[in-house]
Structure 1
Amino acid sequence: MKEVRVSLVGFGNVGRATASVLLKKSRFFEDRYGVKINVVSISDTSGTVWLPEGIDLMEALLVKETFGKLSAWTNDYEVYELTPGDVVREVDAEVVVDVTNDKEAWKWHLAALKEGKSVVTSNKPPLAYHYRELIGEAEKRGVLYLFEATVMAGTPIVGLLRENLLGDDVQSIEAVLNATTTFILTQMERGLSFEEALAKAQKLGIAERDPSGDVLGIDAGYKATILHCLAFHPITYDEIRVRGIAEVTEGEIERAKTKGKTIRLVARVEKGRVAVEPAEIPRESPLAVESHENAAVIRTDLLGELVIKGAGAGLKETASGVVSDIIKAGLRAV
């Protein structure tokens, strides 16, 4: 049995979901892959718990759930005041996992790669702005930089484009990549105004208190940028065109309905061109998704039209993508 040491940076919803999967399925991973995944440090905004022989994940989850912060854990573990950069430099681990929303995380991702550590992340901005630099450093160091959960949660579009369509020339991608906007637009089809639909989404926890990242199209824009980097060549978010759903009117919704169509926030990705904007699509289109589903239509020279559809949000769904990447990185490390 080979042991892979992991530093987990971020212990919010996604971090806890990831830890929960690693805990519950540890025997499965050991039996199937011959790898023991040992989390040796966990960081939240209050501090870092670090134990070289491995942290009790059940206890870590209990402390976080009970007290809301790791710094409350004082019985058996010392809590250190370490930045993510400090964790990268000081904690002995083969894999660094970033499940934060830190827009500057690319700096410590880069530092981890330079230390010869693989990086797994669900954090989109580092890739949307620094894809070329991060992937280049990983290749130079012979380690992995993995990011399945950045686009469509655990639905494996990243792996599909990065590992499986190597003989295909991708011609275009059309995708619906943001579940919050899909919920809001669906509620507007049922008669609510944009403001009422947004308020309902916030009440249900589907939209954030500050919903701008979703309704202005920023989140979908990050994801579309990453898809372009994978399918064609590296670009940055600053090079794409984005318009969100905040200006979609009830009249536009009704006009689309009379034509047998629906409005969704659609990302269109072609070589050298990315646009994210509300668009009318036929009801029978694979992009006419509901609830928390995402969908993408990938067109290639060999396969023609390929549809991938699945969960694009949710904690266990996102954890699926993160954990899958941790296992990939762990298998490389051993």
Structure 2
Amino acid sequence: MKEISLSLIGFGNVGTGVAEVLLNKHQYFKEKYNLEIKVVSITDSTATIWDPNGINLKEALETKESFGSLKFWGNEYEVYELGAYEVVEEIDSDVVVDVTNDKNATKWHLKALKNGKSVVTSNKPPVVFSYRELLRVSSEKDVPYLFEATVMAGTPIIHLLRSALLADSIERIWGVLNGTTTFILNAVEEGMSFEEALKKAQELGIAERDPSNDIKGIDAGYKGVILHNITFYPFDFKKAYIEGIEGISEEKIRENFKKGSVTRLVALVEDGKVEIKPRELPMDSPLAVKGTSNVALIESDLLGELVIRGAGAGIKETASGVVSDIIRASLKTKYL
């Protein structure tokens, strides 16, 4: 039995989702992979709990649900005021998992890699802005740097592009990669106003309180750049063309819908090009998804067209991508 220790940084929706999967499927992972995954530290925005012998995830989840913060858990575990960099520096673990929105996380991702720790993340900015450096250090130290959940949640497009299409030259990727904008545009087509659709998305937890990254196309731009990074070469985010959905006419969206087409925020990724903009699509297009679904159409020289579609958001869906990468990292392979 291989035992792996884990530092989980971020204990919001995705972090608790990851903890639930690790708790509920603990025996499954032991039986299928001969793998014992032990969480030795958990960090939220207020505190870090740390136990080298392994944290009781059931109790951690109950504490978070009851009190909203790990700082109130002072009976069984020592509660520390450690930030992410200090966790990486001071706590002995094999894998560091980042499920935060920390835009400055590159610093502690690099620290973890330099210390010989694998890194698994759902946090997009480090992969967008520091991909070359992170991959260089990962290669030098021979430890995995994995980020499946940064694009299409748990739908395995990253794994597909990095490890499954090894004989193919990718010509381009078309994608609808932001579930929030798809939900809003879909709702407008069905009669809601833009404001009503956004409010509903926020009530359902699909849109953030500040939805500007989604509405302005920034999130889709991040994802387009990540796909370019792994398919072609590191791309400068400043060179991406990004046009969001905030300026689209509701009347035009509904008019197109009546004529048999839908409007979606579409990413186009080609060698040297990342373009994000709303496009009118036939209803039978593979890109004409509804709800919060994500889809990518990959064009390659040998296979032709390949469509991969799945959930682009959701707690358990994102946790699927994160935990899959934890298993890959634990088995010490970059591309399992």
If the length of structure 2 is used for normalisation, what is the TM-score? Answer: 0.98
Residue 208 of structure 1 deviates from its aligned partner by: 1.2
Distance 2:57 2:258 in 1: 53
Distance 1:14 1:205 in 2: 12
User: 2:138 maps to which residue?
Assistant: 138
Distance 1:270 1:2 in 2: 41
Counterparts of 1:166-315 in structure 2, within 5 Å, are 166-315=166-315
User: 2:17 maps to which residue?
Assistant: 17
% same residue: 59
AA aligned opposite 2:161: L
Residue 204 of structure 1 deviates from its aligned partner by: 2.3
* Secondary structure of residue in 1 paired with 2:332: helix
Distance 1:80 1:161 in 2: 40
Query: Structure 1, residues 182-206: CA drift from partner, whole Å, max 9, x if none?
Result: 1100111112221222122222222
Query: Structure 1, residues 233-256: CA drift from partner, whole Å, max 9, x if none?
Result: 111322211111001111221332
Distance 1:250 1:82 in 2: 48
User: 2:27 maps to which residue?
Assistant: 27
Distance 2:197 2:56 in 1: 42
User: 2:161 maps to which residue?
Assistant: 161
Q: How many residues align?
A: 333
CA contact (8 A) 2:18 2:322 kept: yes
AA aligned opposite 1:5: S
Query: Structure 1, residues 132-179: CA drift from partner, whole Å, max 9, x if none?
Result: 111111011100000000000000000000111111100000000011
Distance 1:31 1:205 in 2: 35
User: 1:66 maps to which residue?
Assistant: 66
CA contact (8 A) 1:120 1:147 kept: yes
* Secondary structure of residue in 1 paired with 2:264: strand
Distance 1:104 1:204 in 2: 28
User: 2:119 maps to which residue?
Assistant: 119
Distance 1:259 1:170 in 2: 33
CA contact (8 A) 2:179 2:294 kept: yes
CA contact (8 A) 1:39 1:55 kept: yes
CA contact (8 A) 2:85 2:108 kept: yes
For structure 1, which segment, 298-307 or 193-202, has the greater mean C-alpha deviation from structure 2 after superposition?
193-202
Cα RMSD after superposing both structures: 0.9
CA contact (8 A) 1:194 1:249 kept: no
AA aligned opposite 2:176: V
CA contact (8 A) 1:6 1:94 kept: yes
For structure 1, which segment, 189-198 or 7-16, has the greater mean C-alpha deviation from structure 2 after superposition?
189-198
AA aligned opposite 2:18: T
AA aligned opposite 1:58: K
Query: Structure 1, residues 89-139: CA drift from partner, whole Å, max 9, x if none?
Result: 111001000000000001100110000100000000111111111111101
* Secondary structure of residue in 2 paired with 1:264: strand
For structure 1, which segment, 21-30 or 187-196, has the greater mean C-alpha deviation from structure 2 after superposition?
187-196
* Secondary structure of residue in 1 paired with 2:130: helix
AA aligned opposite 2:262: T
CA contact (8 A) 2:129 2:237 kept: yes
CA contact (8 A) 2:173 2:270 kept: yes
CA contact (8 A) 1:40 1:93 kept: yes
Q: Which runs of 5+ in 2 are unaligned?
A: none
User: 1:80 maps to which residue?
Assistant: 80
* Secondary structure of residue in 1 paired with 2:172: strand
For structure 1, which segment, 203-212 or 149-158, has the greater mean C-alpha deviation from structure 2 after superposition?
203-212
CA contact (8 A) 1:201 1:207 kept: yes
Q: Which runs of 5+ in 1 are unaligned?
A: none
User: 2:45 maps to which residue?
Assistant: 45
Residue 73 of structure 1 deviates from its aligned partner by: 0.3
* Secondary structure of residue in 1 paired with 2:298: strand
For structure 1, which segment, 246-255 or 15-24, has the greater mean C-alpha deviation from structure 2 after superposition?
246-255
AA aligned opposite 1:6: L
Distance 2:289 2:57 in 1: 36
CA contact (8 A) 1:114 1:141 kept: yes
Counterparts of 1:88-127 in structure 2, within 5 Å, are 88-127=88-127
* Secondary structure of residue in 2 paired with 1:328: helix
CA contact (8 A) 2:193 2:250 kept: yes
User: 2:151 maps to which residue?
Assistant: 151
Residue 70 of structure 1 deviates from its aligned partner by: 0.3
CA contact (8 A) 1:168 1:302 kept: yes
Distance 2:284 2:295 in 1: 13
Distance 1:203 1:323 in 2: 27
Distance 2:108 2:331 in 1: 23
CA contact (8 A) 2:206 2:313 kept: no
* Secondary structure of residue in 2 paired with 1:332: coil
